[in-house]
């Protein structure tokens, strides 16, 4: 099967995407797949390269584009005197953040007519915008934090909130631009920080409880939930991908898989994650992050439609703990994307 793997991208999560692609490369079965590595530079150049190693941009790369023309059904690779076409059977986006996880790439793939792994345009866009995620999930009966949104030219009234609150870019990945605000005088600075990543800002009540996550794989009613993970903090708040060397662990958090919760709580959190996944129209894979309150209430935090697949990422760790190694996860999400008759 000819599989296009798109990685890199122009978002702040570019380095994480490269690491995710490197981990996928280690677990991609060469007897099943013929990979075509499509790297997008930070400035937005598309390149067909040999592999996603650390210096992929300086290697044997050729300019390429994904053709939106369905008759091509793949790549246009630029060469001296013209171009050649490479047809693809499926695309696996290994992208995180803006223009990769927000529906933009999914729209291009829809135009191309190439099957692709993961969530579609609408669910990608919904889950990327945390305020829309809360509105849709809340209408489906899911408990969400109280929240407020600010548009580009709107300034908040610091006196209207009960502190602490979290201030976040509404449409950004990982923990970029996120601040915990404990006093009213800290709010303007936190909003300015969030606006470095998005013009739309989310102000969200702090939820007292532990943070838990659930990896979901599948479509519609046929869903597999990985083991839960649980985040323990020594101080501050969980800031994923903010460490200088994330492979070495975090300076303020420890992730435990499986989570130290009762069997009843485990089932409740997994079923809540599945309900969130379905309500938002997810397919293929997603990681659902939630808060578990002391009274047993499960509160939605956010949904990552293209979660990290690095050696230290939460999604593959949760699936591995449930007996699904990354190689099998890749096989399953590709199989979900490609109709049986095409395989």
Query: Does the annotation count 19 as an active-site position?
Result: yes
Q: Is 235 a catalytic residue?
A: no
Query: Pick the catalytic residue: 12, 181, 308, 315?
Result: 308
Q: DSSP letter string over 31-91?
A: TT-EEEEEEE-TT--EEEES---TTGGGSS-EEEEE---TTT-EEEEEETTEEEEEE-SEE
Instruction: Give me the sheet containing 82-87, strands edge to edge.
Output: 82-87, 74-79, 62-66, 46-49, 34-40, 2-8, 90-94
Give the active site residue among 14, 287, 314, 332. 287
Q: Is residue 241 annotated as a catalytic residue, yes or no?
A: yes
Asked about 34 being catalytic, the answer comes back as no
Question: Among 241, 274, 314, 332, which one carries the catalytic annotation?
Answer: 241
Half-sphere exposure of 266 (CA within 13 A, CB side): 14
| 96 given a catalytic annotation | yes
CA distance 27 to 313: 15
- Looking at 47, 312, 314, 334, which residue is catalytic? 312
Which one of 16, 77, 212, 334 is the catalytic residue? 16
> Per the residue annotation, which of 14, 18, 19, 165 is the catalytic one?
19
- Which residue in 246, 105, 244, 240 sits closest to 173, CA to CA? 240
Catalytic, 163? Answer: no
Query: Which residue is catalytic, options 80, 185, 247, 264?
Result: 247
Residue 315 bears catalytic tag: no
Catalytic residue among 8, 39, 90, 96: 96
Active-site residues, by number, are 16, 19, 96, 241, 247, 287, 308, 312
């Amino acid at each position: 099967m000819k599989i296009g793997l798109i990685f890199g991208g122009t978002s702040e999560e570019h380095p994480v995407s490269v690491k995710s692609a490197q981990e996928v490369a280690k677990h991609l079965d060469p007897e099943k797949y013929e990979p075509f590595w499509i790297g997008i530079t930070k400035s937005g150049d598309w390149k067909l390269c040999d592999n996603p190693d650390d210096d992929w941009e300086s290697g044997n790369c050729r300019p390429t584009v994904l053709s939106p023309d369905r008759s091509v059904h793949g790549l246009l690779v630029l060469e001296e005197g013209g171009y050649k076409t490479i047809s693809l059977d499926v695309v696996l986006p290994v992208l995180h953040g803006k223009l990769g996880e927000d529906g933009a790439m999914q729209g291009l793939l829809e135009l191309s007519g190439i099957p692709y792994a993961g969530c579609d345009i609408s669910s990608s866009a919904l889950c990327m915008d945390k305020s829309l995620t809360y509105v849709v999930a809340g209408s489906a009966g899911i408990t969400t934090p109280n929240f407020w949104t600010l548009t580009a030219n709107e300034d908040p009234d610091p006196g209207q909130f009960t502190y602490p609150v979290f201030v976040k870019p509404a449409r950004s990945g990982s923990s970029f631009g996120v601040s915990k605000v404990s006093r009213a005088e800290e709010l303007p600075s936190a909003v300015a920080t969030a606006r470095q990543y998005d013009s739309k800002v989310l102000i969200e009540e702090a939820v007292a409880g532990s943070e838990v996550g659930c990896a979901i794989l599948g479509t519609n009613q046929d869903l597999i939930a990985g083991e839960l993970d649980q985040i323990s903090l020594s101080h501050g708040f969980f800031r994923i991908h903010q460490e200088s060397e994330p492979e070495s662990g975090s300076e303020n958090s420890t992730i435990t898989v499986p989570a130290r919760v009762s069997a009843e709580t485990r089932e409740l959190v997994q079923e809540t994650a599945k309900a969130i996944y379905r309500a938002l129209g997810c397919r293929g894979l997603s990681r659902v992050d939630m808060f578990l309150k002391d009274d047993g209430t499960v509160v939605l935090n956010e949904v990552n439609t293209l979660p990290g697949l690095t050696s230290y990422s939460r999604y593959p760790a949760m699936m591995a703990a449930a007996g699904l190694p990354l190689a099998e996860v890749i096989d399953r999400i590709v199989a979900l994307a490609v109709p049986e008759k095409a395989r």
